[in-house]
Amino acid sequence: MSISGQAFLAGAFEHPGRELPDESLAQIHATVCLGALADAGLTMDDVDGFFCGNDAAGAGWISMADYLGLRNLRYMDSTESGGASPIYHVSHAASAIVAGKCSVALVSLAGKPRTGTNSGPGPLKVPEDGFEGRMYGVAGATSTYALAARRHMHEYGTTSEQLAEIKVAATIHASHNPNAFLRKVMTVEEVVGSPLIADPLHRADCCVVTDGGGAVVVVSADVAASLARDSVKIMGAGEAGKIVNGGKTDLTYSGAVWSAPRAFEEAGVTPADVDYVSIYDSFTITVLMMLEDLGFCAKGEGGRFVQDGALVAPHGRLPFNTDGGGLANNHPGHRGGVTKLIEAVRQLRDEANEGVQVPDCQIALVHGNGGDLGTRMRSATMILGREDS
Amino acid sequence: MTTVRTDSALPVPAPDVNPDTAEFWAATQEGRLLVTRCSQCGEAVWYPRPICPFCHSTDTVLEQASGRGTVYTFSIVRRAPGEWGQATPYVLAYVELEEGPRVMTNIVDCSVEDVYIGAPVEVVFFDTGEGAALPRFRLVDA
Ligand SMILES: [Zn+2]
């Protein structure tokens, strides 16, 4: 059974804040949930499906359901897939809607890495402990994404200047976004001149650190038709996991090589049909590798693809992350999934910021990578279209 | 067999030893690097575990690796939290063992600028003081 055309994104809301020292984590969730429901023209009492990841306050969905007063739930899912979690949640919500298990699903993400701490569970005892990570000085994700970047450069001749083009495009977009964390347009020279954090990645190759959150509402076709606002059609979704595979580690590709074809097949479209992409941009290298793995260029061609303003809205070959993305706008809870969905909804409703709206935007792709480009990861790809497409 | 050193320039955290990995970590204290070998399909498996992730046989053994390999990729870490911040810059790397698996590790005993992809390396062990020694690698002449 396909979800294509059976479920719709009816509401989306991004918290306008980037530093929220005086708000609790649960309060940020509440703010974005109310915002997304108001955007859709729905209320908490309409919600019968609820989805959140480990960024939610307390013990998965039940603590947040209790805090928010969600009394009519009949489908709940705390799937934890790192920063890509909300894209998994929308995909799973669409499947649940198709199966008749719920009709109004609320997906929420929030975090306070800038002024507080996330209250999710502490580090789990993973089976690979001792063979990765803390033993060898893995310092946040930058050091392991750098391993992938270095190998990409070695195999394909990718350069730091090409990676920098991705940051430049993001900052051009962020300059049109009054809420963006970084509003100054950067040059390639400024990006490669910023301090090295983990060679070959510079500070400017990394996403911003912000508080905040976002939420989206997924509804059935019947509910979508009853709402005054334009909804966005879910045309297809694909998921995949890339495992370390017993030590046969290959850092030159991501799980998108599997998740993207699944999403395109379900949607019945190809990369050539896509007008806008939201790609989770934890680092510049993440975007470059996803452009290849999603099928927008051949493996190894990402560096050349991003040159000459290809990613810059409104007239680049493939405008991306027109809100500024995680690289320049917002990266709440160190998780990029929800803001990617929200900006795609804005583009398909012609509600992007002035100067970055893609003309006649009909089809958008959303991709999230959860986990680590340097080890194991979850990949989720979604194809969205206009309600009447 | 190499000696286990106590002169690490990097932090030497202790691993979480469990029944899957107890034999591996015990061998590190004798300066021996073990790799899981599947008796069914013959693949070398990293990290150690009793199930083969390739053919799903549970007929696996730990065997001694040569301790030699080459650098698959690396990063020079220049900013790090906690005690690792005192050790920067240091090299985080994947080393491809002669037996096949690519393993996360550090390249030590050299200037960080001397590391390159393809560089030949050999294992060195550093004592955690808690019943295990960490395998790291150093550059050797080709
Ligand atoms: Zn096997």
Q: In the beta sheet, which residues pair with residue A14?
A: A214
CB A84 within 8 A of CB A61: no
pLDDT at A122: 53
Band the pLDDT of A371: cuts 50, 70, 90.
confident
Exposure of A48 in the CB half-sphere (CA atoms within 13 A): 13
Q: Report the alpha-carbon distance of residue A237 to residue A90 in Å, rounded.
A: 9
Q: Report the alpha-carbon distance of residue A45 to residue A47 in Å, rounded.
A: 5
Task: Give first-to-last CA distance, chain A, whole Å.
Answer: 20
Tell me: the pLDDT tens digits for A179-189?
999 999 999 99
Exposure of A93 in the CB half-sphere (CA atoms within 13 A): 33
CB A244 within 8 A of CB A106: no
Note whether A137 contacts B79, CB cutoff 8 Å. Answer: no
Band the pLDDT of A133: cuts 50, 70, 90.
confident
| Mean pLDDT calculated for residue range B79-99 | 96
Q: Which residue of A has its CA nearest to B88?
A: A137
Phi then psi for residue A170, to 5 deg, are -65, -40
pLDDT at A123: 53
Helix H or strand E encompassing A278: strand A276-279
pLDDT at A134: 85
DSSP chain B: --PEES--SS--PPP---TTTHHHHHHHTTT--EEEEETTT--EESS--SS-TTT--S-EEEEE--SEEEEEEEEEE---SHHHHTT-SEEEEEEEETTS-EEEEEEESS-GGG--TT-EEEEEEEE-SSS-EEEEEEE---
Note whether B78 contacts A195, CB cutoff 8 Å. Answer: yes
Q: Report the alpha-carbon distance of residue A137 to residue B79 in Å, rounded.
A: 10
User: Which amino acid belongs to residue A328?
Assistant: A
Q: In the beta sheet, which residues pair with residue A311?
A: none
Distance A248 CA to ligand 1 centre (A): 13
Band the pLDDT of B46: cuts 50, 70, 90.
very high
pLDDT at A125: 66
Q: Report the alpha-carbon distance of residue A289 to residue A359 in Å, rounded.
A: 26
Reduced 3-state DSSP string for A106-145: EEEEEECCCCCCCCCCCCCCCCCCCCCHHHHCCCHHHHHH
Q: Report the alpha-carbon distance of residue A365 to residue A386 in Å, rounded.
A: 12
Residue A126 pLDDT more than 80? no
The residues, any chain, with a CB within 8 Å of residue A96's CB and separated by 6 or more, are: A49, A75, A77, A102, A105
Helix (H, G, I), strand (E, B) or coil at A195: coil
Tell me: the pLDDT tens digits for A224-249?
999 999 999 999 999 999 999 999 99
Residue A121 pLDDT more than 80? no
Tell me: the pLDDT tens digits for A179-219?
999 999 999 999 999 999 999 999 999 999 999 999 999 99
Distance B58 CA to ligand 1 centre (A): 8
Q: Which residue of B has its CA nearest to A154?
A: B117
pLDDT at A168: 98
CB A330 within 8 A of CB A208: yes
Note whether B15 contacts A197, CB cutoff 8 Å. Answer: no
Q: Which residues of B touch A154 (CB under 8 A)?
A: 73, 117
- Burial class of B89 by CB neighbour count within 10 A (0 to 12, 13 to 18, 19+): middle
Q: Token pair of A325, please? A: 């993305």
Q: Determine the residue among B34, B71, B96, B104 to mutate to test chain A binding: the one whose Cβ has the most chain A Cβ atoms within 10 Å.
A: B104
Estimate to the nearest angstrom the gap between the alpha carbon of A19 and the chain centroid: 20
pLDDT at A333: 87
Band the pLDDT of A130: cuts 50, 70, 90.
confident
Note whether A154 contacts B90, CB cutoff 8 Å. Answer: no
Tell me: the pLDDT tens digits for A141-180?
999 999 999 999 999 999 999 999 999 999 999 999 999 9
Query: Are β-strands A104-111 and A75-77 bridged in parallel, bridged antiparallel, or unpaired?
Result: unpaired
What is the number of other CB atoms lying within 10 angstroms of the CB of residue B63? 11
Q: Nearest by CB to B13, from A134, A150, A151: name it.
A: A134
Note whether A129 contacts B79, CB cutoff 8 Å. Answer: no
Give the angle A238-A289-A240 at the CA atoms, nearest 5°.
25
- Complex ipTM over 0.85: yes
Band the pLDDT of A129: cuts 50, 70, 90.
confident
Query: Are β-strands A49-52 and A104-111 bridged in parallel, bridged antiparallel, or unpaired?
Result: parallel
> Quick one: which of A362, A364, A367, A389 has its CA closest to A380?
A367
| Mean pLDDT calculated for residue range B87-115 | 97
pLDDT at B19: 85
Note whether A136 contacts B44, CB cutoff 8 Å. Answer: no
> Quick one: which of A284, A314, A316 has its CA closest to A302?
A284
Model's pTM, two decimal places? 0.94
Q: Report the alpha-carbon distance of residue A357 to residue A322 in Å, rounded.
A: 8
